[in-house]
Amino acid sequence: MKTSEKVLDRLAPLLAFDNAPLGLLIDTRYEVKERLARGGMGEVFSAWDTRLGRAVAMKILAPGLSDPEWGARFRMEAQTLTRLDHPGIVPIYDFGVLPDGRLYYTMKFVPGRTLAERIEGGETRDSLVGFLADACDTVQHAHDQNILHRDLKPANIIVDEHGRVFVLDWGIARLLEEFAGGRRGAATGAPGLTSTGTVLGTPEYMPPERASGDAETTDNRSDVFSLGAVLHEVLTGHPPVSPRPAAVPIAASVPPDIEAVCLRALAAEPAFRYPSARALGDDLRRFLRGEPVEARPLPGIERLKRGVRRHRTTVLLLAGAAACVLVAGGWGIRAATRKSDAIRATLEDAARSERQAKVEEALGLLERGRPAIDRAHHYLYGREARYEELVRQVEEGRPLLQRAVELAPTLPLGHYLLGRAWELKGEWGEAESCWRKAIALDPNFGPARYQLGRLLATRSFFANISPVGDPAANAVEAARLASESVAHIEAAVREGSGFHDAVQREVASALLACARGDADSFAAIVAAGIRKFPSADGVEDLYWLSGFALQPRERRAALDRAVEIRPKHFCALVTRAAFRARADELEAAVTDYGEALRINPRLPRIHVFRGDVRFRLGDFDGALADFEEALRLDPRDARSYVCRGNVRCAKGDPGGELADAETALGIDPRCAEAHVARGCARLRQGDAAGAVGDFDRAISFRPGFADAYLNRGIARRKTGDGEGAMKDYDEAIRLKPEYPRAFSVRGAARYARGDTAGALRDYDEAIRLNPRFAEAHADRAAVRRKMGDVKGAIEDLEQALRLAPPGWPHRRAVEDRLRALKRGLEER
């Protein structure tokens, strides 16, 4: 059962006539005879006009729709019909009110069968296409009067016994100027006009922009889409299947030219459809006459074949004349030689025809490949979506898109769609390259501009939340990416760019406001978008974006909602994981990163993010696996080598740490983190002086690097430079006031110098900043013991053992100290 039929079934109680007025005489004039059809607002009956002695059709508003709003809609339908004067529109005769208050109007009675009945009855394809071409003329007349039909379908097209075509049921027609003015009919009070986001019509024949409730991008091309959906049913026996916009499974028996006409009419983006109903009707008639259609111009040789079939007699006569010329001798050859310019022109025309043929073949491949990409995108809304299945679905279409790009490398649409395929597979670099090529070919191609801008904005967000690298450098990189993102998104939303998706335009506006730092506009745009499109595909992106601007509690709720709508929302999962890691919800962060990587394991940065959290948890094996996968994906990332070296050191492999640091410096000699890593490795191997040199170089490349100062202080202390060490510790804390390890290290130095009060203050601060800091608890125990607080020391040691990760190298020593303290306490 079609969706529209299910909807009518649900509406049946509202539309039903408990006592149909059969046999009644209405207004002393109209005798109701029989029920003809049921429509969106009531039922149509045949009736006899006793005053004029003629048959009429009478439409009566259903009893369940008798409130003023539906009455206004019913009147609007009648008024619309009076504005239209065309042979294909049934004229209205009279308008009135039944004794029970229900409205009715009468119109010309058209005996015949609907297009739906003719399709079901097996009428020939060409006859049906011809009827549809006539319907296009009628729709064009309405468009010329600035009226959209908005509910075109086979059941609303009727063909009488003489083959005349009529378009019926203008009940949800709409004035074009209402769309152009951005109004939603607040003044009329009619259903579909008053309620923002309310969508009336028949789902199977409805264009994407209307299905999403986007009034601003609705125009005459919306009716063109519906006519294309009717054509699809003529050709295949059923309307287009979901998901839109390009899932149009044309049967193998359908000729390529009429298939091309159908696909163009059904284009997801209005800019790619026929510009008018008239243009669609003209192409349908070209097909019926055997002429090349505009939707897919034929290669030159096929045009010639068609011409021969249509004008066979003329061609044979010309061929005979040409033979006579050749037989006559060399004069014809010499004359042909003198016409070399004409020959070259002919060859150039042939080359152009060949290029055009490749373009048309490429367009066909794009239309065949695009549905797989759309299905793959919708697959991500499933809670159990897996990367392997996602790739399988993408690969159903990507080779077709790739071949299209090879055939027609100057076609921006091909690069754009191929970019979408690569993005779904997690190959962001390939996607970016494709979109940049599309923009280079057509700087005004809005969809590619938007996708590239969105990708750059996402990278900017990830740079801002990165737990590794230089925060200042990350901020600079984030600002650079955001700036370029703004330029592309601004270009996407300009008039005439072809970027019409209503929800994505809201996301684009939010991205622009966020990138510009306009917090008030950002919050207003996001809130309005969520209210306007509460359940539309893509609204989850608005929830994701709001997670960057809200307070922590609201942020969590927004990100949770994004993941609830699309469980495999990669960006929302990564963002939530990063914020959870900052809040020391480490296990939850690892879970979120794991879910993100389950649907996109191809981004090395996310493996690094999860590896950092696993390292903090003490899961060194898991962290090592993450960093190694990041290096497999990007063997030239210096910071991933540094991270892996840190894990190797924690696992008792200082040689591995040194090797990774050396490799990182071979890739990037100015990498401050790599210099610090090599300095730490040298320090552990007893080369304190060499370590100081490494830390000096790290500071020269990154003067505000707190880690470099802290570790240089440790190295200086080992060389006997206690004063220099204390200065470095102080500088590290000044640069990074919330640095627990710096306070802990300085506390140890103060304790060694006999400053127990200063050491206690430092350890207290380290533990305040990180209550899970096991080593700080263990070291503070020594200070408390020396100050006579044995119970406090025991509490710290017990807490250190509870917090320490598995394999903690100090565990046995802490356990021994704890036993000794407890024994001494008992002996007292």
Q: How far apart are CA 266 and CA 517, in angstroms?
A: 39
Q: 763: closest CA among 791, 737, 783?
A: 783
Mention every residue, 6+ apart, whose C-beta is less than 8 A from residue 219: 148, 176, 179, 180, 270
- In the block, residue with structure tokens 């019409």: 500
3-state per-residue secondary structure call for 372-436: HHHHHHHHCCCCCCCHHHHHHHHHHHHHHHHHHHHHCCCCHHHHHHHHHHHHHCCCHHHHHHHHH
Give the angle 818-823-826 at the CA atoms, nearest 5°.
130
Q: Hey, is 655 helix, strand or coil?
A: helix
Instruction: Give burial (CB, 10 Å; 0-12/13-18/19+) of 735.
Output: middle
Q: How far apart are CA 67 and CA 83, in angstroms?
A: 25
What is the amino acid identity at position 114? Answer: T
2 with 204: CB under 8 angstroms?
A: yes
Q: How far apart are CA 600 and CA 659, in angstroms?
A: 30
Q: Write down the H helix ranges in 685-739.
A: 688-701, 706-718, 722-735
β-bridge mates for residue 31, sequence order: 25, 48
199 with 101: CB under 8 angstroms?
A: no
Q: How far apart are CA 698 and CA 690, in angstroms?
A: 13
194 with 188: CB under 8 angstroms?
A: yes
Q: 88: closest CA among 31, 41, 143?
A: 143
* Active-site hit among 151, 612, 694, 779: 151
DSSP 428-482: HHHHHHHHHHHHHH-TT-HHHHHHHHHHHHHHHHHHHH-SSS-HHHHHHHHHHHH
- In the block, residue with structure tokens 């003719």: 118
Q: 172: closest CA among 218, 106, 111, 230?
A: 218
Mention every residue, 6+ apart, whose C-beta is less than 8 A from residue 272: 264, 413, 498
376 with 394: CB under 8 angstroms?
A: yes
DSSP 155: G
Written as six digits, the tokens of 131 are 């009827």
637 is catalytic: no
Written as six digits, the tokens of 797 are 């040691």
Exposed e or buried b per residue across 449-468, where buried means at least 16 C-beta atoms within 10 angstroms of its C-beta: bbbbbbbbbbbbbbbbbbbb
Instruction: Give burial (CB, 10 Å; 0-12/13-18/19+) of 361.
Output: middle
Q: What is the CA radius of gyration of the chain?
A: 37
- In the block, residue with structure tokens 């750059």: 456
661 with 681: CB under 8 angstroms?
A: yes
Written as six digits, the tokens of 818 are 């704890």
Q: How far apart are CA 638 and CA 794, in angstroms?
A: 43
Residues annotated as catalytic (active site), given as ranges: 151
